[in-house]
Structure 1
Amino acid sequence: MEKVKEFLTLDKEADETVSRLTVHPHRVGYERSFYNEFALIGLHLDRIEPGFVSCSFKVPPRLTDKNGNLATGAIANIVDEIGSAAVFVIGLPMKVSVDISISFLGTAKLADELEITSRALGQRGDYCGTSVLVRNKATGELIAEGRHSLFSERSSKL
Structure 2
Amino acid sequence: MEMEKKVNKSLDVTENESEAVSQLVVPVIPPGGVSFYDAFVVRGIRVNRVEPGLIVCTLKVPPRFTN
What TM-score range do you get, normalising by the shorter chain? 0.3 to 0.5
Q: TM-score, normalised by structure 2?
A: 0.38
Q: TM-score, normalised by structure 1?
A: 0.19
Higher relative contact order (CA 8 A, sep 6+): 1
Between structure 1 and structure 2, the one with the greater Rg is 1
